Amino acid sequence: MSTQLGVRGWTGVLVALVVVAVLVPVLNLAVAPGSALHLSDFYVSLVGKILCYAICALAIDLIWGYTGILSLGHGLFFALGGYGMGMYLMRQIGRDGQYKSDMPDFMVFLNWKDFPWHWAWSDSFAAQMLLVVAVPGLLALVFGWFAFRSRIKGVYFSIITQALTFAAMLLFFRNETGFGGNNGFTDFKRLLGIPIDQAMRVFLCALSGVVLVGFFVMSRAIVHSKYGRVLQAIRDAESRVMFTGYDPVAYKLSIWTLSAVMCAVAGALYVPQVGIINPSEMSPAASIEMAIWAAVGGRGTLIGPIIGAFFVNGAKSWFTVAFPEFWLYFLGALFIAVTLFLPNGIIGLLRKLGGILSSSRRSPEARK
Amino acid sequence: MLLGLMACSMAARALSPEQALAIAQGDSDARIAALNERVTAQDAQLAPFVEALLADEVRLAGGKVYLVRGSAVTVAGSGASATLPEGAEEVVNNNRMRQALEGALAAFRLSSPDREARAKALADLRDVIDEGLVPLLERAAAKETDERLKAELAMLKAKALIGSADASRRLAAAELLANSPDPAVRSLLMEQLAQESDAAVKAALQASLVKVESRLVWGERLGVLFTGASLGSILLLVALGLAITYGLMGVINMAHGELMMIGAYATFVVQNLFKAYLPEAFHWYVLAAIPVAFLTSALVGAVLERSVIRWLYGRPLETLLATWGISLMLMQAVRSIFGAQNVAVENPSWLSGGVQVLPNLTLPYNRIAILVFAALVLVGMALLISRTRLGLFVRGVTQNRRIAACMGVNTARVDTYAFALGAGIAGLAGCALSQVGNVGPDLGQGYIVDSFMVVVLGGVGQLAGTVYAALGLGVLGKLLEGWQGAVLAKIIVLVLIVVFIQKRPQGLFALKGRSAES
């Protein structure tokens, strides 16, 4: 594979952009609902959701597939981004809530008279979007600095990130935290003063696609740069990297923070599309599922996690409708099968199949 | 109301129909007043009437009270048999009324010749005491010969008088209550203090409150310590299994919680079998459930090791994901078999109740049993690892797999046994948990984060570390919980662990030497 995107690579990127940014909106909005080519609203929201998940899978891949750090707490960053966006959306409801108050309904319900301090910026879109990136980024930076500095790695790190998101979930479940407790935020009405209707959802879906493609190109540049090489060296033999004179902490910390921010952006795009954010996004199970998207698709490749996110979540939406009781069996079996039989995921499988096909096409003895 | 007053004015020795009506009809205050008036008069016929009221056997019709016992109907008070008129209404007793009725029955037992019966009556009266019963208490105190019961009677009287309209009676009661060992006195004093208008009584209440609180504080401290140790013993049971699978074998088993769940469900099945086939031995089902839970979980563990985990040795992150997948499947399997709802596991009689150490400190038997059980499992495991041939092999394989293999140890089999042992201990933990908590498909999920924290804190490859970490986290968690609430306590503990690992990345008791470097 080339170090830069070749002609084929850029064509692929362009095609992907056209599909999500032009084809999906046109098929949903412009094609009549009766037509065979019409993309129903359900599928638009599904695609939009999965595009956000794919960003998470890509983020996980950067730290797990390329740096060898398995995070079981990325759901926290995703949810924090989502909550950041949710706070702004709650303010956008204005006086249209159940209680016709300037305050969000849950605050009226709790009999709060003033906004808590962390809601100070929530009526400004620009400021809140800054927080969407800054808060998870800062949390990742501080947590990562403590963890990497004392060389917590491997499973220890995974378990501690899991405990982190678990603790955050407990915190967000409380009403006093000021994030709507159990129910979280929902019932959003508008974004930037524009009602959140189907056109808006299609736009957000397309935007998620564009952001995903943007992150993909960025990740591509990262992993093929010298910086990315060092990351992969850290993954393969951290001690040797240290002996060669590099300081892994700075490398790990920077990619870890970037990955957290990517997840937060995905969360912020996700919330207005699905219309709800609550603490269950922070449950350890949600974060582990993110890891499996990357593993199923094939970690250590950039396209793999995106494919994995589509595959697993597509299967989930099909199973939960067709055989709801078998979904967990399937997901569990997927975890086991991927780790036992497909260490390189779907991409690895395709490559293997491709290798067999191309060699058998040439000549039988060339296989040896 | 009027009838109630009339009934009060006619103080006869035997229950009259009017008095019965006053007790059966009207608002609760008037009914209780009428009832207590009869109790104080020591009406011999009252007890059967009150019993009938409690058993919902009393009917009202046309200003008359009827007792309905099966097909026999009598008029309350006169005892004449009658036919129940059409449209007779059942007498409804709200909770307060029921308490008062039970109190009345207890008041009768106060004059029982049996000391135990009197003590029991006093305990029953504690919650329903009312100023109307004071004469009765005074009479009982005059007759009482047992010093302890006499003191309790005085205390009860003080309680009844604390709400009296007479300030001097309140003052006397407030002073008397300072010596009460009953923890409920504190809230009683506080309540009265909030509405007290008389300055002298207020001061007396304040002084008593301070005394009562200083006496209660020790019970509370010990209580926190005990719940902490209890939580620690549960964490210990959970973590002991992990200490083998993770600590000795290096396998991150995310399905550990589900192996506990299997142990808990095994207990549930054993309980049901005992209920169905051996009801007379039901109380001993727990003893049978212990080996069953161990073997069931160990068997599942052995199957898992043979089929999945053995292919993943040396790849901890992959093991983590695969075992997570296993945990999802096990949870769903239990949901399919037993349903998604929690199932009911009963405590046998010898595990319910508790021993009262201090007035406000009762140690439940089931928690004590788990403490003892955890200690036994710990000792058993320590002996197994240090004294038996299997333990020797496990230690050998842990320290140097190749040399152990060269010495003729069947390392694959040792792995299976060790993993099954860890799983079996998880099953024991599940059996213990079924006695104190809910048994449901997601039972294991709640403990998995905590138990991994114990292992991380305790360090790998050490039983002692696991013990100290489990008890330490349990007690610390409960102490913080009392101070900051459950959620913040969890977060503080987590932050402390992260900070601690900064200083000692290998846990409390790090292995020294080359095997510590991974």
Query: Given its phi and psi angles, is residue B246 left (phi above 0), alpha (psi -120 to 50 degrees) or beta?
Result: alpha
Do the domain assignments include residue A34? yes
Q: Which residue of A has its CA nearest to B252?
A: A155
Q: Which residue of B has its CA nearest to A333?
A: B325
* Number of domains into which chain A is organized: 1
Which pLDDT score is estimated for A239?
86
Backbone angles phi, psi at B94, to 5 degrees: -80, 180
Judge: B494–A167 Cβ closer than 8 Å, yes or no: yes
**Residue A83: Cβ-neighbour burial (10 angstroms; 0-12, 13-18, 19+):** buried
B320 contacts chain A (CB < 8 A): yes
Contacts of A160 in chain B (CB under 8 A): 456, 497-498, 501
Residues in a beta bridge with B75: B66
Residue among A239, A281, A257, A258 at smallest CA distance from A154 = A239
Do the domain assignments include residue B213? no
A159 contacts chain B (CB < 8 A): yes
Distance CA A219, CA A284 (A): 26
Do the domain assignments include residue A325? yes
Q: C-alpha angle B424/A71/B449, rounded to 5°?
A: 35
Q: Are residues B177 and B55 in the same domain?
A: no
Judge: B487–A328 Cβ closer than 8 Å, yes or no: no
Do the domain assignments include residue A117? yes
Chain B closest CA to A340's CA: distance in Å?
Answer: 7
Q: Which residue of A has its CA nearest to B327?
A: A332
Distance CA B350, CA A192 (A): 65
Per the structure block, which two tokens stand in for A162? 């899991």
Q: Are residues B263 and B173 in the same domain?
A: no
Do the domain assignments include residue B120? yes
Per the structure block, which two tokens stand in for A179? 């994030």
A70 contacts chain B (CB < 8 A): yes
Chain B closest CA to A329's CA: distance in Å?
Answer: 5
> In chain B, what is the greatest distance between 2 CA atoms, to the nearest angstrom?
100
Judge: B326–A332 Cβ closer than 8 Å, yes or no: yes
Q: Are residues B240 and B330 in the same domain?
A: yes
Distance CA B128, CA B101 (A): 9
Nearest to A150 among B329, B505, B518 (CB): B505
Q: Which residue of B has its CA nearest to A70?
A: B317
Interface A-B, measured as beta-carbon pairs within 8 A, has a size of 110
Residues in a beta bridge with B59: B66, B90
Distance CA A337, CA B6 (A): 85
What does the pLDDT average to over A278-288?
A: 88
With both helix axes pointing from N to C terminus, report the angle between A303-322 and A198-224 in degrees, rounded to the nearest 10: 140
A6 contacts chain B (CB < 8 A): no
B368 contacts chain A (CB < 8 A): no
B378 DSSP assignment: H
Which pLDDT score is estimated for A160?
83
Contacts of B499 in chain A (CB under 8 A): 146
A248: which residues sit within 8 A by CB, 6+ positions away? A148, A234, A238, A241, A242
Compute the CA torsion angle A118, A120, A125, A131 (nearest 10 deg). Answer: -30
Contacts of A154 in chain B (CB under 8 A): 316-317, 518
**Domain termination residue (choose one: B44, B72, B97):** B97
Q: Are residues B184 and B235 in the same domain?
A: no
- How far does Cα B483 stand from its chain's mean position? 21
A162 contacts chain B (CB < 8 A): yes
**Structural contact between residues B506 and B460, judged by C-beta atoms closer than 8 angstroms:** yes
**Structural contact between residues B132 and B155, judged by C-beta atoms closer than 8 angstroms:** no
B74: which residues sit within 8 A by CB, 6+ positions away? B66, B67, B80, B81, B82
Judge: A167–B505 Cβ closer than 8 Å, yes or no: no
What would the pLDDT profile of B470-490 be if each residue is shown by its tens digit? 778 877 887 787 777 777 887
A109 contacts chain B (CB < 8 A): no
**Structural contact between residues B316 and A154, judged by C-beta atoms closer than 8 angstroms:** yes
Nearest to B325 among A149, A155, A335 (CB): A335
Chain B closest CA to A242's CA: distance in Å?
Answer: 16
Do the domain assignments include residue A2? no
Residue among A227, A303, A256, A343 at smallest CA distance from A62 = A256
Range of the domain at A254: 7-367
Do the domain assignments include residue A133? yes
Judge: A156–B456 Cβ closer than 8 Å, yes or no: yes
Do the domain assignments include residue B68? yes
pLDDT in tens, chain B (518 residues): 444 444 444 444 567 777 878 888 778 778 888 877 777 777 777 777 887 887 778 888 877 788 887 777 877 777 777 777 777 777 777 777 777 777 777 777 777 777 777 777 777 777 667 766 777 777 777 777 777 777 777 777 777 777 777 777 777 777 777 777 666 677 777 777 777 777 777 777 777 778 777 777 777 788 888 888 887 888 888 888 887 887 777 777 888 889 999 999 999 999 999 888 888 888 888 888 999 999 999 999 999 999 988 888 878 788 888 888 998 899 999 999 988 888 888 888 777 777 777 766 778 888 888 889 989 998 998 898 888 988 888 888 877 888 888 888 888 888 899 899 999 999 999 998 888 888 888 888 877 777 777 777 777 666 677 778 877 887 788 778 777 777 788 788 877 887 777 677 666 655 554 444 44
B340 contacts chain A (CB < 8 A): no
What are the DSSP E strand ranges found in B25-63?
58-61
Q: Which residue of A has its CA nearest to B450?
A: A163
Bridge-based pairing state of the strands A276-277 and A185-186: antiparallel
* Number of domains into which chain B is organized: 3
| Residue position matching structure tokens 């026999």 | B72
Do the domain assignments include residue B104? no
What would the pLDDT profile of B395-422 be if each residue is shown by its tens digit? 888 778 888 888 888 888 888 998 999 9
Query: Given its phi and psi angles, is residue B445 left (phi above 0), alpha (psi -120 to 50 degrees) or beta?
Result: alpha
Q: Are residues B441 and B312 in the same domain?
A: yes
What would the pLDDT profile of A46-62 be if each residue is shown by its tens digit? 888 999 999 999 999 99
**Residue B488: Cβ-neighbour burial (10 angstroms; 0-12, 13-18, 19+):** middle
A274 contacts chain B (CB < 8 A): no
Do the domain assignments include residue B175? yes
B494 contacts chain A (CB < 8 A): yes
pTM (global) more than 0.80 = no
Range of the domain at B370: 224-516
Residue among B177, B251, B260 at smallest CA distance from B215 = B177
A237 contacts chain B (CB < 8 A): no
B505 contacts chain A (CB < 8 A): yes
Judge: A328–B325 Cβ closer than 8 Å, yes or no: no
Does the CA dihedral B486-B488-B489-B494 come out positive or negative?
Answer: positive
Residue among B82, B94, B83 at smallest CA distance from B32 = B94
Judge: A339–B321 Cβ closer than 8 Å, yes or no: yes
Compute the CA torsion angle B456, B462, B463, B465 (nearest 10 deg). Answer: -50
Judge: B326–A336 Cβ closer than 8 Å, yes or no: yes
Q: Are residues B84 and B169 in the same domain?
A: no
Do the domain assignments include residue A284? yes
| Secondary structure in 3-state letters for chain A | CCCCCCHHHHHHHHHHHHHHHHHHHHHHHHCCCCCCCCCCHHHHHHHHHHHHHHHHHHHHHHHHCCCCCCCCCHHHHHHHHHHHHHHHHHHHCHHHCCCCCCCCHHHHHCCCCCCCHHHCCCCCHHHHHHHHHHHHHHHHHHHHHHHHHCCCCHHHHHHHHHHHHHHHHHHHHCHHHCCCHHHCEECCCEECCEECCHHHHHHHHHHHHHHHHHHHHHHHHHHHCHHHHHHHHHHHCHHHHHHCCCCHHHHHHHHHHHHHHHHHHHHHHHHHHHCEECHHHHCHHHHHHHHHHHHHHCCCCCHHHHHHHHHHHHHHHHHHHHCHHHHHHHHHHHHHHHHHHCCCHHHHHHHHHHHHHHHHHHCHHHHC
SS3 B65: strand
Distance CA A193, CA B489 (A): 41
Cα-based distances in Å from B122 to A242, B104, B129, B145, B149? 76, 11, 10, 14, 8
Chain A closest CA to B1's CA: distance in Å?
Answer: 42
Compute the CA torsion angle A72, A76, A82, A85 (nearest 10 deg). Answer: -140
Question: What is the enclosing helix (H) or strand (E) of B362?
Answer: strand B361-364
Contacts of A143 in chain B (CB under 8 A): 498
Q: Which residues of B406-431 are buried (b: 16+ CB within 10 A; e: fewer)?
A: eeebeeeebbbbbbbbbbbbbbbbbb
Q: Please determine, for the modelled complex, whether the ipTM score is greater than 0.85.
A: no
Contacts of A167 in chain B (CB under 8 A): 490-491, 494
Q: Are residues B259 and B378 in the same domain?
A: yes
A352 contacts chain B (CB < 8 A): no
Distance CA A222, CA A40 (A): 37
Q: Are residues B431 and B469 in the same domain?
A: yes
A333 contacts chain B (CB < 8 A): yes
Q: Are residues B148 and B14 in the same domain?
A: no
A340 contacts chain B (CB < 8 A): yes
Contacts of B501 in chain A (CB under 8 A): 150, 152, 156, 160
Q: Which of A69, A149, A159 to mutate to test the interface with B (most CBs of B within 10 A)?
A: A159
Contacts of A72 in chain B (CB under 8 A): 320
Do the domain assignments include residue B396? yes
**Structural contact between residues A227 and A132, judged by C-beta atoms closer than 8 angstroms:** no
**Domain termination residue (choose one: B63, B97, B131):** B97
Do the domain assignments include residue B88? yes
Per the structure block, which two tokens stand in for A185? 């935020």
SS3 B266: helix
Judge: A288–B329 Cβ closer than 8 Å, yes or no: no
Question: What is the enclosing helix (H) or strand (E) of B216?
Answer: helix B199-242
Do the domain assignments include residue A332? yes
Residue among B157, B203, B146 at smallest CA distance from B180 = B157
Q: How many residues does chain A have?
A: 368
Q: Are residues B186 and B308 in the same domain?
A: no
Given a cut of 70, whether residue A368 has pLDDT beyond it is: no
Q: Are residues B393 and B417 in the same domain?
A: yes
Which pLDDT score is estimated for B70?
74
Q: Are residues B288 and B153 in the same domain?
A: no
Chain B closest CA to A80's CA: distance in Å?
Answer: 17
What would the pLDDT profile of B7-32 be if each residue is shown by its tens digit? 444 444 567 777 878 888 778 778 88
Residue among B151, B106, B146 at smallest CA distance from B129 = B106
Backbone angles phi, psi at A160, to 5 degrees: -70, -35
A22 contacts chain B (CB < 8 A): no
Over chain A, what is the mean pLDDT? 84
Distance CA A28, CA A23 (A): 8
B58 DSSP assignment: E
User: How many CB atoms are located within 10 Å of the residue B127 CB?
Assistant: 12
Do the domain assignments include residue B214? no
Contacts of A284 in chain B (CB under 8 A): 448-449
Judge: A154–B335 Cβ closer than 8 Å, yes or no: no
